[in-house]
């Protein structure tokens, strides 16, 4: 097999970003657990910064996966013979699973049924023949259908809102924003 087509640099970037994402999620979890023990919320700015870091990391991971999807869909990963199987056993067990973890499997089923409902709703409630045709064409790829639905919902709703900051209109009217800024 010719391994020159395997994007090793991208895979290494992906691995590093997944490690960073894992660390960021662990930090967020620890902050939330710590705040739960103190019966107070973590600092809003800290939460927002952690959220921004996590979203950025997810965006980077997504772009790496998208750029290399053509090869990654066809690539299987196996541990090298010289790797330490005892030290890396939990990792190998996860990587070599044929089936997702039970909770992940449930998430996948839930998301599939949600996407099916969205596709059915859009098909049944659309008067636009081209939109129905595009939904029927996309039916084979549920991710694309869900992305199309999200994009259409965003286009419909974005003109109804003005985005100035991270607070709701209710929070502004009740004076909570001024209390937070003090």
**Tally of domains in the chain:** 2
Same domain? For 108 and 83 the reply is no
Q: Which CATH number fits the domain that encloses residue 59?
A: 1.20.58.1710
* Percentage, residues of the chain above pLDDT 70: 69
Distance between CA atoms of residues 58 and 143, nearest Å: 17
Same domain? For 24 and 40 the reply is yes
Domain that holds residue 173: 100-182
Same domain? For 83 and 119 the reply is no
Asked whether the whole model's pTM tops 0.85, one would answer no
> What confidence tier does 104 reach under pLDDT thresholds 50, 70, 90?
confident
Same domain? For 47 and 68 the reply is yes
Same domain? For 15 and 92 the reply is yes
Report which secondary-structure segment, H or E, holds 16: helix 8-37
Of the ranges 49-58, 105-114, 140-149, 170-179, which one carries the lowest mean pLDDT score?
A: 140-149
pLDDT, average across residues 170-178: 78
Going 40 to 41 to 45 to 47, the CA torsion angle's sign is positive
Residue 152 is encoded by which pair of tokens?
Answer: 């259409």
End residue of a domain, out of 83, 98, 113: 98
Largest CA distance in the chain: 66
CA distances from 45 to 34, 42, 54, 109 (A): 16, 9, 14, 35
pLDDT digits (tens, 9 = 90+) for 111-136: 777 777 776 766 666 555 555 555 55
């Amino acid at each position: 097999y010719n391994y020159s087509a395997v994007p090793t640099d991208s895979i290494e970037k992906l691995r590093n970003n997944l490690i960073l994402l894992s660390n960021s999620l662990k930090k967020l979890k620890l902050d939330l657990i710590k705040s739960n023990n103190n019966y107070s919320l973590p600092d809003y700015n800290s939460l927002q910064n952690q959220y921004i870091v996590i979203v950025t990391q997810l965006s980077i991971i997504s772009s790496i996966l998208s750029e290399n999807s053509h090869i990654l869909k066809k690539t299987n990963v196996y541990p090298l013979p010289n790797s330490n199987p005892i030290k890396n056993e939990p990792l190998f067990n996860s990587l070599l699973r044929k089936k997702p973890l039970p909770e992940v499997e449930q998430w996948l089923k839930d998301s599939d049924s949600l996407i099916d409902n969205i596709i059915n709703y859009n098909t049944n409630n659309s008067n636009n023949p081209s939109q129905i045709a595009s939904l029927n064409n996309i039916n084979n790829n549920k991710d694309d259908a869900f992305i199309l639905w999200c994009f259409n919902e965003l286009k419909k709703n974005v003109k109804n809102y003005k985005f100035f900051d991270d607070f709701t209109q209710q929070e502004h009217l009740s004076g909570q924003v001024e209390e937070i800024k003090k």
